[in-house]
Amino acid sequence: VVWTRAFTPVLKTTIYAFAAVLATYLCATWVGSALYRMHLRRGMAAGVDKLLAMLFLASLLPLVMNDPRWHESSVLVLLSLVPISLLLGYMTPQLVDDHARGEPGAAGSAYAVNVVGCILGPLLSGYVLLPVFGVKWALLLMALVYPLFMVGRAAARADKVTTVAKLAGVAALLVALFSTRTHEDPSVYTNAEVRRDATASVVAHGEGMKKRLLVNGVGITELTSVTKVMAHLPLVMRQNPPKSTCVICFGMGTTFRSLGSWGGNFTAVELVPSVCDSFGFFWDDAEEVAGRTGARIVVDDGRRFLSRTEEKFDLITIDPPPPVEAGGSSLLYSSEFYAVLRERLSDTGVLQQWFPGGEKKIAQAVVNTLKESFPYLLVCRSFEFAGQEMPSDMLAGVHLLASNHPLEIPTVDQAIERMPEAAKVDILEFLPGINLKAGWKLVLDQFVPVETMLPEDSSILITDDRPYNEYFWLRRAFADK
């Protein structure tokens, strides 16, 4: 649990990252167990005191070897997990054998204790150590278990290997305490605020227009007019002002703030509590916006919120966390989710689905899934990439606009006429020197035919049980759909 959060900046957020950590742990554990059985047969099994000393050092290696200022190598990260996994794989069956001494009931009791620890350990790590102490101190506290056991055993003699391991462990502990940094350390960034909860570690950092939001060390968003367009573009396609709007994935709160400029009820749903708590870091008027009549910020899973509410929205805008391959993100691109969205839209409601850019085949799968889920769909490329050429297998950001009601692209004058004064001010906030007409012309010129974004194989869709965007390695490695 702690490793997954600690090394997300390097291993990233795909399903292959967790799979790599798990595979490394399991394989190293298996090797350690096999070594123990081999050594036991030969009568040369290592003593517990030696193993504890080596475990003390090995438990600190993942922390001291992976300071984010030193490298971004996933190979080194995974290799740093091998020694402790191998040693625990060696020691666990040894402890069971020492306790049981051939008695099946005693062996079962020992394994039962181990299973209880496997249940309580992740709960303690996820809900106490990580939120309260953070990644660095969670790893340190777990590493200090081994010297405590060494002191408790009070071994009278120690061989050279044990002595060297203890000294190296003390040196590693000093490095970890006074030198090592993690992605949660404010000193790694400029002007940073760090917040932690049971869901994630959140860093808000930077100054002026260079402010950024990181979740578990991975960049989520920055101050950009694109997140304003996610609110304003779908709303100018409607002839009447919205009564109720909703944004799924809060981020910096830019889209939520823009929705507020249209009046009516506006809701934001965010999974990570600390992301919502960072709203004030990015906006001086955050408290005033959140306190407006009709404003609501909900900490919940976006899909679960929409599945349970009976409220209808004139706009639902979704900005899934990047990258598009992120583990679990398919739940915000799937046909089952779009079925929920259709039920939550008003008769003239619009869905704005943001595709953050990436593999063209994934973009085609997203568009095709939307086309199969909604009777009306429009595709608008991000104005930020206007005039730029992308590699043939990649695609820049795209606004996908879907509805149960016919959609018509407004003229520039219509778009401006439909906006309240507060919204006109809001959309130009990051675009000094550009007037509304020029700005809207740039945005509205980016619409492209839906047909140009569809896959050749119409069966390529994203569903809950076929997360096409998340499972990409074989497709890219062997050019197979």
Full DSSP string of 246-272: EEES-TTSHHHHHHHTT-SEEEEEES-
* CA–centroid distance for 317 within its chain: 19
**Given this model, what pLDDT does residue 155 score?**
59
How far apart are alpha carbons 364 and 379 in whole angstroms? 11
**Given this model, what pLDDT does residue 389 score?**
78
Residue 299: strand pairing partners: 270
Is residue 295 classed as helix, strand or coil in its secondary structure?
strand
Residue 66 and residue 77 in contact, taking contact as beta carbons nearer than 8 Å: yes
Q: Give the DSSP letter string of 145-165.
A: HHHHHHHHHT-S---HHHHHH
**Given this model, what pLDDT does residue 140 score?**
96
How far apart are alpha carbons 215 and 343 in whole angstroms? 31
How far apart are alpha carbons 54 and 163 in whole angstroms? 10
How far apart are alpha carbons 35 and 26 in whole angstroms? 14
Residue type, 15: I
How far apart are alpha carbons 402 and 350 in whole angstroms? 6
Residue 184 and residue 135 in contact, taking contact as beta carbons nearer than 8 Å: yes
How far apart are alpha carbons 306 and 190 in whole angstroms? 37
Distances in whole angstroms, Cα of residue 218 to Cα of each of 14, 115, 250: 12, 33, 16
H helical segments located in 179-323: 226-236, 254-260, 273-277, 279-282, 286-290, 302-308
10 Å CB burial of residue 294 (0-12, 13-18, 19+) is middle
Tally of CB atoms within 10 A around 150: 20
Residue 51 and residue 147 in contact, taking contact as beta carbons nearer than 8 Å: no
* CA–centroid distance for 454 within its chain: 27
240: left (phi over 0), alpha (psi -120 to 50) or beta: beta
Residue indicated by tokens 């050092």: 57
Strands 313-318 and 345-355: parallel
How far apart are alpha carbons 136 and 148 in whole angstroms? 19
How far apart are alpha carbons 78 and 342 in whole angstroms? 43
Give the single-character DSSP code of 31.
H
**Given this model, what pLDDT does residue 157 score?**
65
Nearest-10 crossing angle of helices 145-153, 160-178 = 140
* Cis previous bond, 323, omega within 30: yes
Residue type, 273: P
Residues 6+ apart with CB under 8 A from 1: 121, 122, 125, 126, 130
How far apart are alpha carbons 144 and 158 in whole angstroms? 19
In tens digits, what is the pLDDT along the chain, a chain of 481 residues?
Answer: 999 999 999 999 999 999 999 999 999 999 999 999 999 999 999 988 899 999 999 999 999 999 988 899 999 999 999 999 999 999 999 999 999 998 999 999 999 999 999 999 999 999 999 999 999 999 999 999 999 998 877 655 678 888 999 999 999 999 999 999 999 999 999 999 999 999 999 999 999 999 999 999 999 999 999 999 999 999 999 999 999 999 999 999 999 999 999 999 999 999 999 999 999 999 999 999 999 999 999 999 999 999 999 999 999 999 999 999 999 999 999 999 999 999 999 999 999 999 999 999 999 999 999 999 999 999 999 998 887 777 878 888 999 999 999 999 999 999 999 999 999 999 999 988 899 999 999 999 999 999 999 999 999 999 999 999 999 998 888 875 4
